[in-house]
Amino acid sequence: MAEPSPASWTVADVEADRSWIYPLSAAHGASLLAAVRGAGDLDKPILAWRRDDFDIGAAIPTLAAAFAEVRDGRGMALVKNLPRDGVTPAEFRLMSWAIGLHFGVARPQNRASDYLTEVKDVGVTYRSPTGRGYSSNAELDFHVDSADVVLLSCYNQAPVGGMSMCASAATAYAVVKAERPDYAAALATGYAFSRNGEEAEDEAPWYATPICSVEDGRVFCKWNRNRIQNAQKLAGVPPLTQVQREAMEYFDAVLRRPKNMFCMHLAPGDLQILCNQTMLHSRTSFQDHADADKKRTLYRLWLARPDSRRLPESWSVYFGTVEPGTVRGGMKGQHYDDERRQFDARQAEAVGMKVA
């Protein structure tokens, strides 16, 4: 009998074994900050930086272990002690980017084809047809992002709320299969997802893919309630069947059972890394600081990884390719230009990846 995957966990599991937490030593954190401060002009365009501009070698073993945990372990890792005291937002942002340059190829994330986004409340309405949760203070649905892994580095945290919530898709799907096999079967059928108005010229405004798929015994999950609901408002989208709707509700309820939903408070200097194939994440609503300099601020990076797995064929519609070790995923958006293509090709060569 096959051993259960470590990515299939409960809250009791991750609380009992904290080996998914990777603290940087003070010396390694200091070397990381020194690499950023010694690299040059902080106002340099983000895509102009190269991997070799940052000598972060001392911190690499700890960071590499965290990425290995995300791929082969729990599907999530928390790196603690990124330098924060006395560090400016620009320095912290570039530190996050420097880490990304050493561990994969960053992917665009929105209509503007931004490769590094600031997670900060700017008054966006999350439930609007084009709303994005990272620009609001709302509680978010459980979801995955559109790249192999997502990195969230915390610069400032809110005084109230803003807890990070994580749940194992493999655990939740197994529960649904055991309790309601009819719903598990429905989750494996095609659901339409809206691109929320961020599609490129050659992309349709929606695509269809199963919520849960199994490839080589591993559960892959594409889940974003908001985008499924938004897709139902678009022309040409097949209406959800009654059993599909019920399956969605049941799956979400299983994710939110206290024994399945793990909550953590990201502190300034924390770097959360999550697998977007097995790890569902969310966030509670928050009340922010009145002082603009203290407002909740995180930096989000999506990465295609050199050691990525082959994806289910159905994922090609939004990842571009299912081939492992290939630059894939992201939202091309409406400004994916020659500068971005050149960055992708240059960075792929630097980390030994193929360009689709």
Domain containing 35 — which CATH number?
Answer: 3.60.130.10
**pLDDT for the residue 122:** 62
CA distance 18 to 21: 6
Do the beta carbons of residue 232 and residue 239 sit within 8 Å?
A: yes
**Residue that has been written with the tokens 């559960």 in this structure:** 219
Do the beta carbons of residue 67 and residue 103 sit within 8 Å?
A: yes
Same domain, 70 and 207: no
CA distance 114 to 336: 9
Question: Angle, nearest 10°, between helix axes 60-72 and 89-103?
Answer: 60
Same domain, 148 and 71: yes
What is the number of residues in the chain? Answer: 356
Looking at the domain assignment, is residue 260 inside a domain?
no
Question: Angle, nearest 10°, between helix axes 169-179 and 242-255?
Answer: 120
Looking at the domain assignment, is residue 59 inside a domain?
yes
Beta bridge partners of 43: none
- Could you read off the pLDDT tens digit of each residue along the chain, which spans 356 residues? 346 789 999 999 999 999 999 999 999 999 999 999 999 999 999 999 999 999 999 999 999 999 999 999 999 999 999 999 999 999 999 999 999 999 999 999 999 999 999 988 765 554 555 545 555 666 688 999 999 999 999 999 988 778 899 999 999 999 999 999 999 999 999 999 999 998 989 999 999 999 999 999 999 999 999 999 999 999 999 999 999 999 999 999 999 999 999 999 999 999 999 999 999 999 888 777 788 888 989 999 999 999 999 999 999 999 999 999 999 999 999 999 999 999 999 999 999 999 98
Looking at the domain assignment, is residue 5 inside a domain?
no
Nearest-Å Rg of the Cα atoms of the chain is 19
Do the beta carbons of residue 200 and residue 341 sit within 8 Å?
A: no
Do the beta carbons of residue 211 and residue 221 sit within 8 Å?
A: yes
Looking at the domain assignment, is residue 177 inside a domain?
yes
Domain range holding 189? 170-252
- 173: which DSSP letter? H
- Token pair belonging to 116: 């590094």
Q: Which of 229, 252, 275 is the last residue of a domain?
A: 252
Q: Read off the pTM.
A: 0.94
Same domain, 30 and 98: yes
Same domain, 274 and 158: yes
Contacts of 57 (CB under 8 A, 6+ apart): 31
Number of structural domains in the chain = 2
Same domain, 150 and 112: yes
Same domain, 158 and 178: no
Do the beta carbons of residue 193 and residue 224 sit within 8 Å?
A: yes
Do the beta carbons of residue 22 and residue 78 sit within 8 Å?
A: yes
- 13: which DSSP letter? H
Looking at the domain assignment, is residue 292 inside a domain?
yes
**Residue that has been written with the tokens 């429905």 in this structure:** 186
Same domain, 307 and 342: yes
Same domain, 119 and 223: no
**pLDDT for the residue 284:** 83
Same domain, 29 and 135: yes
